């Protein structure tokens, strides 16, 4: 009886998520059914490897195995059972992980910048977990063309990719700035609130989510949770411009409305940007006290977490009161704080590891290896091949315990199952 109830709960969860964004996910289907032993790349549907001898059992995705007796199954480790927002799908996700090769698992941890060409081939070759799409991708395309292109990308692999954009409004509008996709550009949260208060914020969040969902985009790298009060602050124009309580209300409403309409949110930039400089161009060091973060910067993130936010993006700021030796994005103490003190159980993203703040700091080491060890579930980066190789080498030489990879991938797959990206 308990097993039947569990199975029913999983089915209801998947159906609910699917119905919220059925248009965006209508093209999601099973892709390849086998892999090449040499390249470990999924073959598109209808195309078979030259010889069955070329297929490695360890490289078969469990749902595609013709011999069910070869499928590995197991119970989720007790220490991973956190009762989190995706926990209803942990068991199914974990059993998928058990039947993935190391390369496939590592690939799921990468949220790569979508290339101008060869996106499908890269997704297949590297088994990518997702793509972040930037403005050039949408240029001069109709809604249908964008939806078709994203569907092709999403379905490149047997485990579909999550697809995200930065659509904050104001100075960051990857989609709504394109006249073929929207009849107006989304305003910044600051301008919206000034014009119509929280009610205008809520209607904007719904409109934004519906647009993204209609194109097949399942995740928005927003809202900005940072509290910036000085016009000279780097994040000033992108923040809502309210105090901690007001910013928290904004974050909570955007989180609930966006995810009810089929688009996961990403709370950023943890642990709070404050008045720090632009980390695209250099290292930012934050000397504020921990008490200030507790009484101010953490509050909008807590509001988003309590509202069920699916993801949090961690900044590259070095926050001395938390970890004076590493940028937050590759700091284990910062990630432990996010998990244990703020109680976040969703997916943690790094900010883009190609930023100068990281390259300056990790000149003698691999930033992606440090990002995995710090506790990130997905890594935002453009240099895929070298990064994947670095992580694989670190697993093989023992610097990274493969269980760290397994835990992160289980959480990523449970997220995809919860939202309906993965069936």
pLDDT at 359: 66
CATH topology of domain 108-386: TIM Barrel (3.20.20)
What is d(CA 59, CA 394) in angstroms, rounded to the nearest whole number? 20
Distance CA 402, CA 238 (A): 38
What pLDDT was estimated at residue 9? 44
pTM of the model: 0.84
**Mode of pairing for the β-strands spanning 172-173 and 167-169:** antiparallel
Query: pLDDT, tens digit, for every residue of 241-264?
Result: 999 999 999 999 999 999 999 999
Number of CB atoms found within 10 A of residue 22's CB: 12
Question: What was the pLDDT predicted at 382?
Answer: 82
CB-based contact 240:174 (threshold 8 Å): no
**Regions of the chain with pLDDT less than 50:** 1-20, 22-68, 279
| CA–CA distance, 122 with 116 (Å, rounded to integer) | 11
| Domain definitions of the chain by residue range | 108-386
Residue 70: the pLDDT is 78
Q: Quote the pLDDT of residue 403.
A: 98
- Three-state secondary structure string covering the chain: CHHHHHHHHHHHHHHHHHHHCHHHHCCCCCCCCCECCCCCCECCCCCCCCCHHHCCHHHCCHHHCCCHHHCCCCCCCHHHCCCCCCHHHHHHHHHHHCCCCHHHHHHHCEEEECCCCCHHHHHHHHCCCEEECCHHHHCCCCHHHHHHHHHHHHCCCCCCCEEEECEEECCEECCCCCCCCCCCCCCCHHHHHHHHHHHHHHHHHHHHHHHHHHHCCCEECCCECCCCCCCCCCCHHHCCCCCHHHHHHHHHHHHHHHHHCCCECEEEEECCCCCCCCCCCCCCEECCCHHHHHHHHHHHHHHHHHCCCCEEEECCCEECCCCCCCCHHHCHHHHHHHHHHCCCCCEEEECCCCCHHHHHHCCCCCHHHHHHHHCCCEEEECCHHHHHHHHHHHHHCCCCCHHHHHHHHHHHHHHHHHHCCCC
Whether the CB-CB separation of 192 and 204 falls below 8 Å is answered with: yes
């Amino acid at each position: 009886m308990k097993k039947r109830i569990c199975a029913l709960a999983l089915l209801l969860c998947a159906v609910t998520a699917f119905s919220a964004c059925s248009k965006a996910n209508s093209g999601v289907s099973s892709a390849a059914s086998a892999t090449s032993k040499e390249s470990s790349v999924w073959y598109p549907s209808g195309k078979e490897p030259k010889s069955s001898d070329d297929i490695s059992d360890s490289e078969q995705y469990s749902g595609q195995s013709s011999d069910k007796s070869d499928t590995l199954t197991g119970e989720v480790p007790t220490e991973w059972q956190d009762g989190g927002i995706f926990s209803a799908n942990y068991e199914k996700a974990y059993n998928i992980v058990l039947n993935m090769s190391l390369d496939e698992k590592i690939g799921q941890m990468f949220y790569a910048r979508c290339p101008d060409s060869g996106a499908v081939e890269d997704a297949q070759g590297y088994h990518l977990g997702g793509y972040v799409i930037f403005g050039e991708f949408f240029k001069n395309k109709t809604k249908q063309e964008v939806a078709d292109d994203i569907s092709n990308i999403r379905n490149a692999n047997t485990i579909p990719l999550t697809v995200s954009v930065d659509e904050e409004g104001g100075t960051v509008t990857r989609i709504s700035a394109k006249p073929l996709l929207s009849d107006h550009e989304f305003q910044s949260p600051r301008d919206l609130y000034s014009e119509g208060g929280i009610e205008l914020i809520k209607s904007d969040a719904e409109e934004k989510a519906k647009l993204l969902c209609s194109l097949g985009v399942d995740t928005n790298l927003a809202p900005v949770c940072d509290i910036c009060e000085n016009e000279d602050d780097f994040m000033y124009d992108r923040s809502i411009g309210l105090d901690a309580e007001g910013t928290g209300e904004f974050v909570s409403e955007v989180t609930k409305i966006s995810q009810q309409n089929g688009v996961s949110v990403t709370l950023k930039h943890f642990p709070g940007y404050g008045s720090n400089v632009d980390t695209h161009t250099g290292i930012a060091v934050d000397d504020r006290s921990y008490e200030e973060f507790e009484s101010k910067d953490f509050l909008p993130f807590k509001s988003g977490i309590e509202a069920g936010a699916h993801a949090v993006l961690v900044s590259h700021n070095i926050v001395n009161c938390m970890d004076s030796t590493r940028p937050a994005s590759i700091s284990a103490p910062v990630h432990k704080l996010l998990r244990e003190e703020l109680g976040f159980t969703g997916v943690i993203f790094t900010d883009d590891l190609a930023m100068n703040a990281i390259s300056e700091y990790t000149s003698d080491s691999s930033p992606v290896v440090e990002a995995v060890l710090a506790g990130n579930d997905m890594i935002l980066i453009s240099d895929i091949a070298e990064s994947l190789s670095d992580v694989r080498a670190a697993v093989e030489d023992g610097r990274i315990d493969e269980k760290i990879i397994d835990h992160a991938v289980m959480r990523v797959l449970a997220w995809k199952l919860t939202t309906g990206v993965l069936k």
